[in-house]
Structure 1
């Protein structure tokens, strides 16, 4: 599915606040949807790029022959889920901000996995 379709499907997840497809080599988002006041998705994309890079470096330093399935950042009122994509480029991730009251973390992770697996760039 296209980036636009993937973003729309991610925003259909209960509690979704904003979503982005991000290239963590450049820190640039390839597409965003949602966000708004209090959640600048371009800034979040760039900042979460550093999170993904740090985790990738840590895995390499530890000598772990494994991949990151997802990264969860828990805030007081939100969950932020970062899901690296197993794409041909190998440098993309999906980023979803989820309202903790309206969303279901387990269902959101499941949906994001499905969306990520179907995304074609």
Structure 2
């Protein structure tokens, strides 16, 4: 099993997880996906969230902030979507995407676990 497959499986065992992806935000392509929801198209989510990451990075640059994005949280009425840009030397240009069922998820724990998964993932 590849490191990416293991990371996707680890993302999916987070309480409330319904979909996970590793995405290249230069191309908008998902390098790997795993999910349980029939209604969440992870390829569409990867492409759409690429635009979110790019816009936020442009804004940070335009503001002259010397900061890295830890994560971006999008809160829907029934879901949380967490986008975590990867910061490793070999994984720059990638982000982790995790969709959670809001009623079953612990947001703080999900963010903590996602950080650990990012640190372990080698692409």
Q: TM-score by structure 2 length?
A: 0.95
* 2:46 is aligned with 1:58: no
Q: Deviations over 1:11-64 (max 9, x none)?
A: 000000000000000000000000532200000000000000000000000000
Q: Does 81-90 or 24-33 show the bigger shift?
A: 81-90
User: What CA distance in whole angstroms lies between the structure 1 residues aligned with 2:74 and 2:36?
Assistant: 17
- Aligned equivalent of 1:113: 115
Q: Does 109-118 or 28-37 show the bigger shift?
A: 28-37
User: What CA distance in whole angstroms lies between the structure 1 residues aligned with 2:22 and 2:16?
Assistant: 18
* 2:84 is aligned with 1:83: yes
Task: Give SS of 2:21's match.
Answer: strand
Q: CA deviation at 1:89?
A: 4.0
Once superposed, what is the RMSD of the aligned Cα atoms? Answer: 1.0
- Aligned equivalent of 1:39: 40
CA contact (8 A) 1:80 1:98 kept: yes
Query: Could you list the runs of 5+ residues in structure 2 that have no partner in the other structure?
Result: none
- Aligned equivalent of 1:29: 30
Count of paired positions: 121
User: What CA distance in whole angstroms lies between the structure 1 residues aligned with 2:37 and 2:120?
Assistant: 26
- The runs of at least 4 consecutive aligned structure 1 residues that moved more than 4 Å come to none
Q: CA deviation at 1:105?
A: 0.2
Query: Could you list the runs of 5+ residues in structure 1 that have no partner in the other structure?
Result: none
